[in-house]
């Protein structure tokens, strides 16, 4: 295996540091949007409020989709993916499906930009929900 170049190493370190900072903001907003109100028994005498299943799925997708989009753009793979989708679609009995490499590139950019904006929006949503919370 070849060692990483200095630029790739710096990008990996920066991406990891940014990811470690923004993922809690993302989690707080998603947890606020999809709360779980009941607690779960962890041990015999301990309870914890775990995330809801919906929050877990949304959080996982919010991390995986932008990562895949970044990989598609980084590896310059839209042509390969478009060819793969077209060839797999040819096996199905459905009508012909043709996706261009440009369409995949635009879609990947949209997903990546949305993924980069999601932690900020998620954090602001959690703050607003907390500000408007009232005990009944």
Q: Give 40's strand partners.
A: 48
Q: What pLDDT is attached to residue 44?
A: 78
pTM of model > 0.85:
no
pLDDT greater than 90 at residue 110: yes
Closest C-alpha among 128, 101, 16, 130 to residue 63: 16
Higher-confidence residue of 56 and 132: namely: 56
Q: How confident is the model at residue 136 (pLDDT cuts 50, 70, 90)?
A: low
Domain range annotation of the chain: 18-131
Judge whether 104 and 81 are in contact, CB under 8 Å. yes
pLDDT digits (tens, 9 = 90+) for 27-38: 999 988 888 877
Taking all residues of the chain, what is their mean pLDDT, rounded to a whole number? 86
Judge whether 47 and 15 are in contact, CB under 8 Å. no
């Amino acid at each position: 295996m070849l060692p990483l170049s200095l630029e790739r190493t710096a990008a990996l370190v920066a991406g990891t540091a940014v990811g470690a900072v923004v993922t809690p903001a993302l989690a707080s907003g998603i947890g606020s949007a999809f709360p779980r109100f009941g607690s779960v028994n962890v041990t015999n005498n301990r309870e914890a409020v775990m995330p809801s299943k919906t929050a877990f799925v949304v959080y996982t997708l919010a991390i995986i989709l932008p990562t895949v989009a970044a990989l598609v753009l980084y590896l310059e793979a839209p042509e390969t993916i478009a060819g793969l989708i077209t060839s797999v679609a040819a096996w199905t009995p459905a009508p012909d499906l043709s996706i261009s490499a440009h369409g995949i590139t635009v879609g990947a950019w949209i997903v990546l930009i949305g993924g980069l904006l999601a932690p900020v929006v998620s954090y602001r949503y959690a703050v607003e929900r907390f500000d408007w919370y009232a005990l009944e």
